[in-house]
Structure 1
């Protein structure tokens, strides 16, 4: 990235960060989380060829990105809470875990075993060791784009491989079947 592009990016960051933080805060009602969301949007923008990526105004693009990132975070948190509530109620009612966690782990392990070794390693480092893509790239001596490609491939594979199991699990969580 050229020095001119870096300066332009920094200028955009400084110009829009505060207003985007306020916008994210309206959805998230947590100043730290709102800051993380805005930083994540700028990080994703930095990692891509952002000058070619944006076809509208920069401001409009950033607002839409913060909106989407905020809603995605809220959705993930809501699903996580629903699952935790279900788990706590189910374990309390049954007095034990019925093995759905164990079964999910078995299904996940089976799905991961069908992935190529590098792809599986990248996924496990990302999801189980909670490393960022850049950290994985550095540790495995891969490019960031290669790591992103492996993650995309792994997630697509898991989505396809686990669709039946996850559908049953979600229905069970939602309707207590």
Structure 2
């Protein structure tokens, strides 16, 4: 679910903007209702703008796959199942693509994962921002059951594992 991805990235020093939305797919538009069917080909995603002098792309990937996404699960993250929940890296430049390939290769050869890495690199396509009620969902709904069970632990893991990248004050401007 993009709620947790957005929540974690909103606490990372150097992330200047984060927008929940939908990526990929073949339909001309994407909404939660359409994407949630699993047949449009879209995936829930978070588009970010970051300052590479503060946080590098490889560091963002490390954070993502250490505290947010399981790279060994195909079409699933936590309790959410379906192709719209696939973990994917979507580079927006050839440099990012090169870093992503190297990072996946490093993950595969590290021996840290007991199951095969199935996360792939997808070509950058049109991104559709999600509906307003999905933006900053964790910040606006901190007592929501899903947030408490699945997303609060991710933010706590960011703070524990990457204190040098953690910022207490979250980024809330998504427009």
TM over 0.5: no
Of Structure 1 and Structure 2, the greater strand share is in: 2
Give the greater-gyration-radius structure (CA): 1
TM-score (norm 2): 0.26
Of Structure 1 and Structure 2, the greater helix share is in: 1
The structure with higher relative contact order (CA 8 Å, sep 6+) is: 2
TM-score (norm 1): 0.25
